[in-house]
Structure formats: C-alpha cells, structure tokens
Structure 1
C-alpha cells in the first residue's frame, strides 16, 4: 500500500500559518486559525474545516490539480496527527454562524 509523505512549511512569525506540501504530488494546503486569522475562501479551491485544541482551523488548497483532490483529506489527517489531535473531525463547511455555504 502506498503512503503519501507530507512536509510542513511554517512561518516563524506566525505559528498558525502552516502550509502542508505533498512530497510526491503538487498538493499544497494552507492552514488558517480562524480564531484570529481572516479567511476569505477562494471559489477555485477546496476548503475543509476542523476543530483542534479549542481552535477552529480552515484548510484551503493552493492551485489544486484534479489528480490531487482525493489526497486532501489524507493530508489534513496527517496534519491533525502532527498537531497531536488525531481525533479531529474534518468538516465540509465552515461551522461558524453566518458562514453557511451560499446556494
């Protein structure tokens, strides 16, 4: 069974500004801490959300390629393990009041 290897680029000035990189594909995911970051989702990217350590995180792909879309959840699960919160529930929509998906 193949396993993806992920790397993490961190911002030393902001511990909540991580970027997850896949070693073997072009997948990149920017991490936002919604407790203090402003976040405007891009309609051309995939966004997922999750709570960990009393923080709400948003995960947004960067220039997503169709062949990388299936790896997004695995990358977020890897990040949840990395931050020592493997039980993070990954949510498809922003759970904050007033941020429902517009139809």
Structure 2
C-alpha cells in the first residue's frame, strides 16, 4: 500500500498559518484557525472543516487539480495526527453557517 508523505510549512509569527504540502504530488492545503483568521472561501477550491481542542479549523486547497482531490482528506487526517488530535471529525461544510463567512 502506498502512503503519501506530507510536509508542513509554518509561519513562526502565526501558528494558524500552516500550509500542508504533499511531497509526491502538487497538493497544497492552507490551514485557517477560524477563531483568529478571516476566511473567504474560494469558489475554485475545496474547503473542509474540523474541530480540535475547541478550535474550528478551515482547510482550503491551493490550486487544486483533479488528480490531487482524492488526497485532501488524507492530508487533513495527517495534520490532525500532527497536532495530536487524531479523532478530528472532518466536516464538508462550515458548521457556523454562511452568516459567519468573512466578506
């Protein structure tokens, strides 16, 4: 069984600005802490959400391709393991509703 290897680019000044990179594909996912960041979802990207340690995270792809779309969930699961919250439930929609999206 093949496993993807993921890398993490972090911003030392803002722990909520991580970017997940796949080592073997072009997949990149930007991480947002919705309690601290404004988030404007892009119509051309995939967004998924998850709670960890009482915080709501948004995960948005960067220049997604059809070949990389199937790996988005596994990359988020890897990130959940990385932040030591392996039971993160990955949600398909913002649980706060559309009234909380930054414009």
1:73-100 C-alpha deviation (Å, 9 max, x unpaired): 0000000000000000000000014449
Give the root-mean-square deviation of aligned CA atoms: 1.1
Gaps of 5+ in 1: none
State the 4+ residue runs in structure 1 displaced beyond 6 angstroms.
none
Give the TM-score normalised by structure 2: 0.94
What is the match of residue 96 of structure 1? 96
Question: How many residues are treated as equivalent by the alignment?
Answer: 100
Gaps of 5+ in 2: none
What is the match of residue 9 of structure 1? 9
User: What's the secondary structure of 2:38's corresponding residue?
Assistant: coil
Give the TM-score normalised by structure 1: 0.94
Q: Which whole-Å CA distance do the structure 2 matches of 1:99 and 1:72 have between them?
A: 25
Q: What pairs up with 1:11-26 in 2 under 5 angstroms?
A: 11-26=11-26
Question: Within the alignment, does 1:78 sit opposite 2:78 as a pair?
Answer: yes
